[in-house]
Amino acid sequence: EAGVGIKSREMYDGGDAVAKILPQLLSKRPRFDWVQYPSLFFGAFAETGQLEPLDDYFAKYPGTQDYLDWVMPAYSEFYTKWNGKNYGVMLDGDIHIMHYRKSFFERSDLQGKFSKRFQQNLEVPKTWDDFLKVTQFMTEELKGEGVYGTSMVVNPPSFGWGFWMDIAASAGVNYFDESMNPVINKGKAAEALDMYKEIIKFGPPGAEAMDIGTTIQRWQSGSDVMSIWWIDLAEFTVQQQGVEKAEDQRGAIVPGWKNDDGSVTNRAISLWCRTASIPKNLPQDVKDAAFYFIYRMSHPDYSNEYVADEYCGSDPFGKSHYGDAAAKLYLQPNPQRGTDNELWKTNDGIFKNFDTAKNHLDAGLANVEVGYPQFFWEGAPEYADALGRNISKAVSGKLTSQQALDEAAEEWVKIAQKLGLDSQKRQYKNFIDGARKLGYKI
């Protein structure tokens, strides 16, 4: 061991990241030696020039290029690199996936009714059109049993926009063009919002204002057949669900947009995530120790175990976090910790069945491979709030889909101008370069 450890820590709410972290980065002697934060703030922090560049630190250790190649590109290209340099390491890889209850798709009575009504087999939906059909069908057939097709997150608006963006990005919608003109209201954007609204229409009572907490409760209780949610919905709810419901869970790639040529494009939003960085204004020996700590914490030697821990809260972000060997870790205790405290009273693994664990990770990987980044440059919370608020107005019927997106675009213009158009263009280039590197049409 290197003699590096944590003597104290400071907790903060994710939404307070800028208020808590930015003043410390700008101070002559920050009070923390390293910090982890939601990745949507990565660009804003990197742009200050007060995050320590990490490339020279990586060069000190053998095998670090293997580590850098190991991190999934959907995360590393957007949430660790800025202007071609590394300023962070990943600790949490959030991604949206499609969760579903396989028992409903296996019911012969539902299969027969669906086939007769839609002239196609009842299958896990691969397109948004089919997702809408299945949602409507399940709601109409099962609401008497207290079960609905799905519950889509709408609130809070700062998160709700991302669930629409799963649809919109698959339809080819982007945030801005290279000149920083909003294109969130162009192309098939309004059509994608119409789809989002139609899906919500067949949700449970209160669907138009559905919040994150309620979607969790509905999934735990078995009240929804499908759920577009972060990958860990199937993990942290296992104890509350009980074995039968937990083993009925399955995951799949988020539905895609059917193009005119018949092909299907899938995009899954990597909303939130967590990055770790080091303040620049620290003594060199402290920065050396801090790098060793965060690198080791992110490294597969440690993260393979903790991403499979029911209490950790970190989702897969590296290549070895997927596959058969990784799935087996979800069935057994985490050897890195015990149960001798009030926070972690159990250590029994997450799933009871290998097939459930393997499917869970296969679904995660399928979505990460088409992962689409959130806003991660300066102004990210403001852009998210403006878009989410106006989408909410469209869902409630106060605005049409096109009106809502036009309103959001107008607000975005003002935000970009306030923050400095040239600066925003330069920062947004990090998004463009990363997206094109992953083969996305921008």
- Residue 287: CATH number of its domain: 3.40.190.10
Report if residue 431 sits inside a domain: no
Judged against a pLDDT cut of 70, whether residue 4 lies above it is answered with: no
- Integer Cα distance of 124 and 253 in angstroms: 10
Q: Which of 360, 356, 100, 363 is nearest to 225 (CA)?
A: 100
The answer to whether residue 218 sits within a structural domain is: no
**What is the predicted pLDDT for the residue at 80?**
99
Q: What are phi and psi of 257, to 5 degrees?
A: -95, 125
Which has the minimum average pLDDT: 9-23, 171-185, 219-233?
9-23
What mean pLDDT value characterizes the chain? Answer: 97
pLDDT over threshold 70, residue 260 = yes
pTM beyond 0.75, yes or no: yes
pLDDT, greater one: 345 or 28: 28
- pLDDT tier, 275 (very low <50, low <70, confident <90, very high otherwise): very high
In a domain? residue 1: no
Indicate the pairing of strand 96-101 with strand 264-265: unpaired
How many helices, marked H, and strands, marked E, lie in the chain?
Answer: 21, 13
Q: Please say if the pLDDT value at position 27 is more than 90.
A: yes
Listing DSSP states for 1-60 in one string gives --S---S------GGGHHHHHHHHHHSSS-S-S-EEEEGGGHHHHHHTT-BPP-HHHHHT
Whole-number percent of the chain with pLDDT over 90: 94
Paired residues of 269 in beta bridges:
372
- Number of domains observed in the structure of the chain: 1
Strands (E), 94-163: 96-101, 148-150
Mean pLDDT throughout 227-251? 95
Q: Give the domain range for residue 310.
A: 14-93+272-337
**Kind and range of the H or E run holding 67:** helix 64-70
Q: Is residue 204 part of a domain?
A: no
Structure tokens, 273: 């995530």
What is the mean predicted confidence (pLDDT) over 304-333? 97
Distance CA 197, CA 216 (A): 20
Cα separation, 105 vs 134, in Å, equals 10
**302-337: b (≥16 Cβ within 10 Å) or e:** ebbbbbbbbbbebbbbbeebbeeebbebbbebbeeb
Residue 8 in this model has a pLDDT that exceeds 90: no
Residue 98 to residue 404: CA distance in whole angstroms? 26
What is the chain's percent helix, strand, coil content, to nearest 5? Answer: 50, 15, 35
Residue 426 lies in a domain: no
Q: Using CA atoms, how far apart are residues 246 and 238, in angstroms rounded to an integer?
A: 5
411 lies in a domain? no
Nearest to 223 by CA among 140, 143, 147, 135: 147
Helix (H, G, I), strand (E, B) or coil at 85: strand
Residue 16, burial from CB neighbour count under 10 angstroms (0-12, 13-18, 19+): exposed
Q: Would you say residue 56 lies in a domain?
A: yes
pLDDT band at 3 (very low <50, low <70, confident <90, very high): low
Does residue 30 lie within any of the structural domains? yes
Which among 185, 88, 155, 145 is positioned nearest to 411, based on CA atoms? 185
Q: Is it the case that residue 1 has pLDDT exceeding 70? A: no
Mean pLDDT of the 282-289 span: 97
